[in-house]
Amino acid sequence: MRIRQLVLVSEKRDPVVSDLCNLFRIEVAFYDPGIIHFGLENAVIPVGDTFLEVVSPVQENTTAGRFLERRRGNGGYMVIVQTDDLKERKKECNLKESTLFGMQTEKKREFMLKLFTYIQETLAEPYYPLTR
The dihedral of CA 57, 61, 64, 70: what is its sign? positive
Are 34 and 81 a contacting pair, CB within 8 Å?
no
Please tell me the pTM assigned to this model. 0.68
pLDDT, tens digit (0-9, with 9 covering 90-100), for 33-86: 999 999 999 999 988 888 889 999 999 999 999 988 888 888 888 888 887 887
Q: Which domains does the chain have, with CATH numbers?
A: 1-82 (3.10.180.10), 85-124 (no CATH)
Cα angle: 120, vertex 125, 130; to 5 degrees: 105
pLDDT, tens digit (0-9, with 9 covering 90-100), for 110-120: 666 665 565 55
Strands (E) located in the chain: 2-9, 40-47, 50-57, 75-82
